[in-house]
């Protein structure tokens, strides 16, 4: 049986026929119920020029495929007229090991499944009434996060912070075209002062949001810290959270915001909940409008499996 190759146009067309949110929910539940086999992330870190390559792979027990994904991020590429992201998703037959499909997505599916995961986190842990959405970061993921949040909240008031004022202005213009009322904030602290649903999607290596910045009732989804060197949140903020959730306790302990909080003895593993458990039992999530909730997403191969399979079927 010949394998399939899907390129960007076909992938984008297929995504138009898919709702990724229930796919992510089902993937998180499968992972937390130990039905998904997801080994530790393979990682290459480059210094000159800076960049990283993440290799994720895994399978769901009883499924018909397994997956290997390579996702690259080289932040200096735009200075030379090249995209910062690239990558490929490969599906193999779980029964025979035969190549089933190659999705030449240039990292796009990673953006989509990450944004969909952010929307799932907000759906189960976000405040009942979202006063204003705060986005820290101005790159591609910052755009995808906001677009997918439209699926779970009616709030269209947004504040954005980015270190580069020109990029923040470009983000403001782009998102206004998508029906969002975006204002540029002067600092991450200014975001926290006005917003009760905050998403951090940067490659920061020092905390951007500090424990005293955040007011009661706020939800924070952090997904930029996908390697041990990256960090967006003050570890004391995780300690202060009334509900602290991660996509994977094992993976976040090594890579994410949880990793830094554990190193500082700010949290205990027994107080951390996996998002899949919350999806299965929403009572484990937010139960009070005054609670501070934090979700640390490092990204799981089961998310890639879910969306890649759906794209393959929709694109057939």
Out of 69, 123, 230, 309, the active site residue is 69
CA dist 289 and 285 (Å) reads: 11
Q: How far is CA 30 from the centre of its chain?
A: 18
Q: Which helix (H) or strand (E) segment is 311 a member of?
A: helix 301-314
- DSSP element (H, E) containing 255: helix 249-255
- Cβ-Cβ contacts under 8 Å for 181 (sequence gap 6 or more): 156, 157, 158
Locate the DSSP E strands across 61-176. 65-73, 85-93, 99-103, 133-136, 157-161
Q: Say whether 69 is catalytic.
A: yes
Picking from 250, 310, 312, 304, the residue whose alpha carbon sits closest to that of residue 71 is 304
Active site residues: 69
């Amino acid at each position: 049986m010949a394998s399939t190759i899907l390129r960007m146009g076909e992938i984008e067309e297929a995504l138009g026929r898919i709702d990724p949110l229930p796919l992510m929910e089902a993937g998180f539940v499968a992972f937390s119920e130990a039905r998904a086999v997801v080994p530790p992330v393979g990682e290459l870190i480059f210094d000159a020029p800076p960049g990283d390559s993440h290799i994720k792979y895994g399978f769901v027990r009883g499924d018909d495929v397994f997956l290997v994904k390579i996702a690259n991020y080289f932040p200096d590429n735009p200075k030379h007229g090249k995209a910062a992201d690239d990558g490929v998703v490969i599906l193999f037959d779980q029964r025979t090991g035969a190549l089933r499909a190659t999705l030449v997505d240039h990292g796009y599916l990673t953006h989509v499944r990450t944004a969909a995961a952010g929307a799932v986190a907000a759906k189960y842990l976000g405040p009942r009434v979202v006063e204003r959405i705060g986005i820290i970061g101005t790159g591609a993921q910052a755009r995808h996060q906001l677009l997918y949040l439209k699926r779970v909240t009616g709030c269209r008031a947004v504040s954005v912070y980015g270190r580069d004022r020109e990029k923040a202005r470009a983000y403001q213009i782009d998102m206004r075209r998508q029906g969002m009322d975006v204002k540029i904030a002067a600092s991450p602290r200014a975001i926290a002062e006005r917003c009760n649903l905050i998403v951090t999607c940067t490659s920061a290596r020092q905390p951007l949001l500090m424990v005293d910045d955040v007011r009661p009732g706020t939800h924070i989804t952090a997904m930029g810290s996908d390697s041990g060197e990256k960090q967006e949140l003050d570890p004391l903020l995780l300690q202060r959270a009334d509900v602290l959730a991660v996509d994977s306790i094992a993976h976040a302990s090594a890579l994410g915001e949880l990793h830094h909080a554990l190193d500082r003895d700010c949290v205990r593993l027994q107080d951390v909940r996996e998002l899949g458990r919350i999806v299965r039992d929403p009572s484990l999530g937010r139960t009070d409008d005054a609670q501070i909730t934090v979700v640390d997403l490092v990204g799981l191969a089961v998310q890639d499996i879910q969306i890649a399979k759906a794209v393959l079927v929709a694109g057939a």
